[in-house]
Amino acid sequence: MSRFRLSKKLTSYEITLKLLSSIEDYLLTKVPKIINTNSNDIKKEYSISITDDTGTEEIESIKDYSLSSFPDFTEKIDISLTHYSPKILQVDIVFSDRLFSRIEVNYTGENAREITISIYEGILRILESSKTTNFRYHHSFIETSLFVSGAFLSGFAISSFSTGSYAAAVTAIILLLLIILYFVVGKRIHPYTLFESRRADTYKRWCDWFFYSVLGFILFDVVLMAILIKFYEIS
């Protein structure tokens, strides 16, 4: 026998009850066939934990979940499967923020590498349709770049006002406002992992508002610049 362990970070997903049901069905019906073991034994060693701002609920199956959606302040969902037969299979899928969202598959038995990768890829195929682009709002490089740009624009705006370059100053201020909007609103309504809830539905509506607000800011900036340039040409 051999052992193979795979651990990967997860990107941004929208987590729904339907998605968890699909993952559960895969782990409890298809995975037993892959490792050639009894599906009833697998079911006994499977669990889901749902963590929100009040605590953690543990259930044996998503079918046991009584609500129609997750709590508004859901922070993490952990899907866990640990099976000993004497083959050893461990699967842990965590949906949370950028630092903690991950998938781990650990298998000990014949053809450990191939089986581990097969299980991992099967889970990813299920997740594929639930991908979001929210990770763009939680990328450390982008955040650092925007913070540095904001500091530069602040200094540039002050300098431009002091030298009478009002058009440049106004442009810098508008760009600075866009950066502030990104940090204050953008990240909030685009959580790294979006859990199905009433709050998530609200966020989706706000996403459209956010997009058109940013677009409006840009158009306003272009029009204002054109007016200011025309004004200074006349002067």
What are the backbone angles phi and psi of residue 99, rounded to the nearest 5°?
-75, -30
- 14 pLDDT tier (thresholds 50, 70, 90): very high
- Average confidence (pLDDT) over 152-173: 80
Does one domain contain both 94 and 150?
no
Answer whether residue 90 shows pLDDT above 60.
yes
Q: Distance between terminal CA atoms of the chain?
A: 85
Residue 88 CA to residue 104 CA, distance in Å, equals 13
- 53 pLDDT tier (thresholds 50, 70, 90): very high
Residues 6 or more apart whose CB falls under 8 angstroms from that of 46 comprise: 24, 27, 28, 60, 61, 80, 81
> Angle formed by the axes of helices 140-162 and 166-181, to 10°?
150
Residue 130 CA to residue 13 CA, distance in Å, equals 5
How far is CA 32 from each of CA 19, 81, 194, 226, rounded to the nearest angstrom?
20, 12, 30, 66
Answer whether residue 233 shows pLDDT above 60.
no
Task: Identify the domain boundary among 85, 111, 130.
Answer: 130
- Total Cβ atoms within 10 A of residue 231: 11
Does one domain contain both 100 and 185?
no
- Average confidence (pLDDT) over 1-14: 95
Closest listed residue to residue 47, CA positions, set 69, 23, 70: 23
Which tokens belong to 206? 């706000």
- 137 pLDDT tier (thresholds 50, 70, 90): confident
Percent of residues, the chain, with pLDDT higher than 90:
50
- 232 pLDDT tier (thresholds 50, 70, 90): low
- Average confidence (pLDDT) over 178-201: 82
User: Tell me, what's the pLDDT at 127?
Assistant: 98
Does one domain contain both 156 and 228?
yes
Task: Identify the domain boundary among 99, 130, 161.
Answer: 130
Q: Count how many domains the chain has.
A: 2
Can you give the residue range of the structural domain that contains 66? 2-130
User: Tell me, what's the pLDDT at 161?
Assistant: 78
Task: Identify the domain boundary among 95, 113, 130.
Answer: 130
Answer whether residue 42 shows pLDDT above 60.
yes
User: Tell me, what's the pLDDT at 40?
Assistant: 86
Does one domain contain both 81 and 186?
no
pLDDT tens readout for residues 101-115: 999 999 999 999 999
Percent of residues, the chain, with pLDDT higher than 70:
86
Does one domain contain both 48 and 21?
yes
User: Tell me, what's the pLDDT at 227?
Assistant: 65
Higher pLDDT, 187 or 121: 121
pTM here is 0.77
